[in-house]
Amino acid sequence: MTRERIAADRPRYSGQTIYRGLVPADRVPHLTADPRVRLWFGPDQHCVCYPVSSGRQISFGATVSSSHWREESWTAPGDHAELAAAYTGWHPDVTRLIAAADAVGRWALHDRDSLGRLSTGRVTVIGDAAHPMLPFQAQGANQAIEDAVVLASCLAGPGPDGLGAALRRYERIRLPRTTRIQQQSRANATTFHLADGAEQRRRDASAQATSGLDRHEWLFGYDAEQAATSSRS
């Protein structure tokens, strides 16, 4: 409702749905010996999994293109058999992971364009209200936390120009970064889902050449407190 004070947009269905499930770790020992985030890419869909609950469970998200599923619910059950059918022929690590789940949920993924501003008058937005994003970088919560850190810093020292100036500074610091991350999350839907071919081979070669956190320094190396402090000077 607060966002409506700032923008008159509506969520847009992305054409993608995501099945999510939790699997006890002892059912998938092939994925637990080396605890890390794993991604499998393929035409029109991808699967990601990672350990949660101190390694006791593996959480996974498996995307599937769909023209008919528009359910925005966080609790809608998914059809396990439909998910398994969608991943038939994929790497055995994926098919065994999906087979090991007792139940899955299903979300329709919606997107919105970036806002041109985050505030109006004395009202501002942070987190998903400001920049909802597709989950293809796992950044929604991170960006909400960064927003909070920067906003708190701006409000702690609003200066002689008052609240309006503080909110403009918050927007100036945050909007370029959250816009870039929204766009990159959207672009990942294309990159992750390439059909087999030259582009897909380039993507795979690039991923192999620079795996890990090193090529994401701009994303994971960001210091929100530092960003707020340096914008003052």
Ligand X SMILES: Cc1cc2nc3c(=O)[nH]c(=O)nc-3n(C[C@H](O)[C@H](O)[C@H](O)COP(=O)(O)OP(=O)(O)OC[C@H]3O[C@@H](n4cnc5c(N)ncnc54)[C@H](O)[C@@H]3O)c2cc1C
Residues that bind ligand X in the complex, under the rule CB under 6 A: 20, 74, 127-129, 135, 138-142, 144
Radius of gyration of the chain (CA): 20
DSSP-assigned letters across all residues of 172-212: HHHHHHHHHHHHHHHHHHHHHTPPSSHHHHHHHHHHHHT-S
**Amino acid of residue 60:** F
CB of 212 to ligand X, least distance (A): 17
CB of 49 to ligand X, least distance (A): 12
Q: Are 61 and 87 in contact (CB under 8 A)?
A: no
Cβ proximity to ligand X: between 78 and 194 the closer is 78
Out of 13, 50, 170, 222, the active site residue is 50
Let me know if 50 is a catalytic residue. Answer: yes
Cβ proximity to ligand X: between 144 and 227 the closer is 144
Cβ proximity to ligand X: between 73 and 229 the closer is 73
CB of 50 to ligand X, least distance (A): 8
Q: Pull the structure tokens for residue 2.
A: 């607060």
Instruction: Give the H or E element holding residue 233.
Output: none
Residues 6+ apart with CB under 8 A from 142: none
Q: Strand, coil or helix: what is 149?
A: helix
Cβ proximity to ligand X: between 26 and 72 the closer is 72
CB of 93 to ligand X, least distance (A): 20
Residues 6+ apart with CB under 8 A from 56: 24, 25
| Residues annotated as part of the active site | 50
